[in-house]
Amino acid sequence: MTDTVEPLTTRRDDAQLLLGDLARICGTLSEIATVWRRALPYLPGLPLSLPLRLQDAACQLAADIQAPVGTGQPSDPGPLSLPGRFSALRESIAAAQAMTCGPGIPRIGDDRLWQSLSTALNRAGTTHRPHAAPGHDQRLVTQRPPGSGPQAP
């Protein structure tokens, strides 16, 4: 006997995993903002609002993914698809990390936070794959190793 998983259920499961990763990303960015505030005397040019803006972007991305998951209705992806927004967020985070972890920059104690953030980003962004059906929303979908849970269709 073969079991089949309802595609909508699988998408919800994938979205829930992604939302968990985005929650970790938001929380880690909040911690990085705290470290940056404390490091201001050592790096006076550090843009203190940057981690908070990145956190807001990650939280908004999560909210935009969560809204259609709860209703089962497609959402308007706006001018930039969710995968595109995730990629832009990843690039912005990498640029922010370079401000405190680059060569010749004094260590301020955020190294392990960036490592944690990188792990969550990699897990969340393993695959950015929009659903192929025209007119449907473009959600980020994580792809897990075989046997580790439901897979996206």
List pLDDT tens digits, range 86-107.
999 999 999 999 999 988 888 8
C-alpha span between 104 and 86 (Å, rounded): 29
Range of the domain at 58: 7-124
The answer to whether the CB of 140 falls within 8 A of the CB of 58 is: no
Q: Which two tokens stand for residue 69?
A: 């998951």
Per the domain annotation, does 146 fall within a domain? no
Q: How many domains does the chain have?
A: 1
Per the domain annotation, does 138 fall within a domain? no
11 pLDDT band, cuts 50/70/90, is: low
Per the domain annotation, does 150 fall within a domain? no
Report the candidate in 29, 5, 18 with the shortest Cα–Cα distance to residue 126: 18
List pLDDT tens digits, range 35-94.
999 999 989 999 999 999 999 999 999 999 887 655 555 455 555 688 899 999 999 999
pLDDT, mean over the chain: 77
Per the domain annotation, does 142 fall within a domain? no
Per the domain annotation, does 147 fall within a domain? no
Per the domain annotation, does 65 fall within a domain? yes
The answer to whether the CB of 18 falls within 8 A of the CB of 142 is: yes
2 pLDDT band, cuts 50/70/90, is: low
Report the predicted TM-score, pTM, of the whole model to 2 decimal places: 0.71
Per the domain annotation, does 141 fall within a domain? no
Per the domain annotation, does 1 fall within a domain? no
